[in-house]
Every structure is written in C-alpha cells, then in structure tokens.
Structure 1
Amino acid sequence: MRKIDLIVVHCSATRADKPLSPEQLEQMHRQRGFKCCGYHFYVRRDGKICTMRPVQQEGAHAKGFNRNSIGVCYEGGLDEQGRPADTRTELQKRALRVLVRVLAMDFQTRRIVGHRDLSPDLDGDGIVEPEEWTKMCPCFDVATEL
C-alpha cells in the first residue's frame, strides 16, 4: 500500500443545472489521456459516493501531489451561468464530511486541502491567497468546512 498523507478535494467544474454521471466523468478523463478517472471518489448531488479509482492506485488529480494523496471530487462547482460557485447540496456536504473523516481516520492523515490550496505561493509569505490560486476548485474553503 502506498503512503497517504494528503486528501485533496475537487469539484467536477460542471454546471449546477447539468448532471455529470460517473461514466461521463470517467470518459472526460480518458479523453484527456488518463487510464481511468483521476479521482478516487466522486460525490453526486444526491450524496451517493462513487468509487472511481482504487485507493491503492496513484491518482491523476493534483500534479505533483498524486503519489501520496487521495482525490475526492464532488459533482458541480459552477453555477447555472458557468461561473465558479459552491453548488454542493446538503446531501453532498454531509457525504463529503463523512467520506473525508473516514479516509482521514483510515490513513491517519490530518492534511485535507482543496485543489486550489496546492497553488504556488507566489509572493513567498507562506500563505496561498485567493489571488494566487491557479484554479477556484473546489469553490469552497476546505480548511474551515472539513
């Protein structure tokens, strides 16, 4: 088993008014050249947690961090106009909290971040501020919620 010391939360960057099935997510990743979905877990709007890639297998979700992390993605992240927004349903919020807690307990890790939090610290002050984010993903502050 590989060493896991990081959980990275993502959004699928899809509109709140357009569903994205696990099969469609998988297809999107295959079209980008991945063997399968890059995330380990996918949380649907109804709160269903889908296993997408075995945890034992290195992910393809956060360049430079895949070797030691688990990728968790939720369906959504864009409003009806296609702008970044926290579109999580209450069921998704609950499912994400439970999933992340279980994974953190199972792998004894406390480092849980959003994809945007892995952006480079451009001004070198030790904090990745919003203006330094290379992506908005996952469109909510993981540190305060999870």
Structure 2
Amino acid sequence: MSRPISLIVIHCSASANGRQQGSRIQSAAAVIDGWHVQRGFQRQSAARAAFNPDLAAIGYHFVLDTDGSKHTGRAIAEVGAHVQGFNSQSIGICLVGTSRFTRAQWDALHSLVKALKAQYPAARVVGHRDLSPDKNGDGTVEPAEWLKTCPGFNVADWLQAGMKPLPANLQA
C-alpha cells in the first residue's frame, strides 16, 4: 500500500530541550506514543498489526531523540496524525525538544530529510507552523497566524542554510 506524499512536516515534541526521551527500556517513539494515547489518538488495528504493533497511537512517522537516534512510529504508507488537514499526503518527523536541538539531532534530520526527498522529490519540506491558515490572505503565514510554534525554528531558513544546524537553535 502506498499513498501520494506531497509534504514532509517537521515537528518538535514540546519537551525540555536537550533532555533525551528514550532509554534502554523505552524508545522516544514509545514515550510519545504514551502521550498520544492520553490525547485520544488511535492507530487502525490493521496498520498497527503490520508495523510497530506496540505503538497504539503515535501520530508521527519518525522521532529523532537528542542522541540522534531515529525511531519509527507509523509506517510511511500509514496516514499520520500530526497535522490536521494534511495527514493524508504527508510524512511527520518529530524532533525531541522544543527549540534547541543537539548536533546529533540536526545531523539525523539532515540525513532523514535527504533520504525522504530522494524517495519523494516533489514533496515540500515544511514546519508544522507553516501549515497554519493564512488568516489575512496575503499569501504568507506570519507568526501572528501560527496555530502552533512547532518546530521552534524556521524550516525555510534551515533548508536555505543547506540543512546545517541553525546556530540559534543548537543545543550546547
């Protein structure tokens, strides 16, 4: 099963910057899955049986923890639950943290986005906040129009910088 992908959407977990979510016992994706269970998210049973059956609700396709480890959530063929109105055509990537990310996370994000763009060359890479409605109709989604600040950096600036870490958003 495949689906058309037109967006690669970058998110943040709205958790403490620099604080690893995963452990030897539980991956970062499993931790976020628990949060999504509490929020009432739910994966379809067939999709869950086919991929990551221990994750009942996670909305993202990938989670990048502070050590740079990449964890899968939903299969790419499975519709996500990460950006209302755009889930059917998007892949969701979540960086653990809010606005400052480790070099390992930036490197993992670069690698993952590069691989996804190779697979889906027409897909636009955006931040969650970039998909907020343009309330004043001027063609630009401005900070006052954001429904969320996620992720805590400007994805367009990151892309323009060659997918290198943005100094203001680099966790020491």
| Structure with max Cα Rg | 2
Q: TM-score, normalized by length of structure 2?
A: 0.77
**Pairing 1:63–2:84 present:** yes
Match of 1:82 in 2: none
Shift of 1:33: 1.7
Aligned-pair identity in percent equals 47
- Deviations 1:71-102 (Å, cap 9, x if unpaired)? 0000000xxxxxxxx21011111110110111
Shift of 1:16: 1.8
Q: Specify the code of the residue in structure 1 equivalent to 2:31.
A: Q
- Deviations 1:51-78 (Å, cap 9, x if unpaired)? 111001000000000000000000000x
Match of 1:37 in 2: 58
CA RMSD after TM alignment: 1.2
Shift of 1:104: 1.3
User: 2 CA distance for matches of 1:9 and 1:55?
Assistant: 15
Q: Specify the code of the residue in structure 1 equivalent to 2:80.
A: G
Shift of 1:17: 5.5
- The runs of at least 4 consecutive aligned structure 1 residues that moved more than 3 Å come to none
Shift of 1:108: 2.0
Alignment: residue pair count: 138
1:72-91 superposed matches below 5 A? 72-77=93-98, 86-91=99-104
Where in structure 1 are there 5+ consecutive unaligned residues?
A: 78-85
Q: TM-score, normalized by length of structure 1?
A: 0.90
